[in-house]
Structure 1
């Protein structure tokens, strides 16, 4: 049976319009993105199969180009469309942080960092620079590494803080393994950066480690 033959309340698009996007399942959201299914398979059925084949929504959306395009009913056009959608989402969240009130909610910071860093195949060390009222000045990736780690240079972090005339910072990096638990090396470089930035009166509010859907906060653990 085609989705057109379903009751209106069960069709993903109509359901989204009446109840909101958060009321839809992963398969229903993916079906809207796919738009059409395959012969004998509705868009929702195809979405369910793709989620099963890839192991969930996050592995599918973060798949590399060749792996994504290999999926049934997908291809280069869908890959390009997906990358555009993901990038628009990241830019929207950054604009929200920049134009919104002072950044005081760990939840907002987590949501933004997950959008920026989850699923990256290599380690990236970044900073959110803040003014003296904790309003966002900029988000800036500073160092790129391999799957094992990124070399972080305090002198470069200090230089960037001065460039933005920052009063405070939230540091962040991802663990490509998906495990967000900070390492001893993470704690040691954080201590060095707290000291280095403190010397120019820039306060480090937090260091967040991003994994697969989980973000660990140094501040919440009492390490900063």
Structure 2
């Protein structure tokens, strides 16, 4: 079975095969196969936005209605890196991932950060190729059953909490910037700062940009609420 068989099995139409395939191309594969010009990072960006809209809408329409704080916490749990990686495994999408030899040997096919990025990239590709209804078919299968399960309170979306704290006093928006990347190419560690008007509010490190951003937001938030 390839990804197009998988899409057909789910009743999801497709037109642009190159676009769909691009969702599964990791940067390590591009480095070793020069015929591939792009990895899946741009599609991941698109998929992240689609995922946020879908989950926000889903939570907003729940009955009985949830408070804003409850929706924020639950959304963070549903779209965190670990959750997205688990959706990928549930759907057995990691078998379609294209990795470089080194990344494959070091367990990249099971690494949460890579699987989460690939899942978002697929959502972006499907959305661009056949629209929101097709994305809905994928997310209804894996996220909707999860919403009704008991959740741990340990997941906190510090990026949202920080932005809400900043906007309670002004209309300004913070931004995140990668200032350093270290370690081997198959497992880089990112250092990120969060800035407001070019003033550094906090720093964070992590083995993915998203984790580093969350750590930077947490650092800033905890400093500001003291």
* Bigger strand share: 1
The TM-score normalised by the length of structure 2 is 0.21
Higher-Rg structure is 1
TM-score (norm 1): 0.21
Q: Which has the higher helix share?
A: 2
Higher relative contact order (CA 8 A, sep 6+): 2
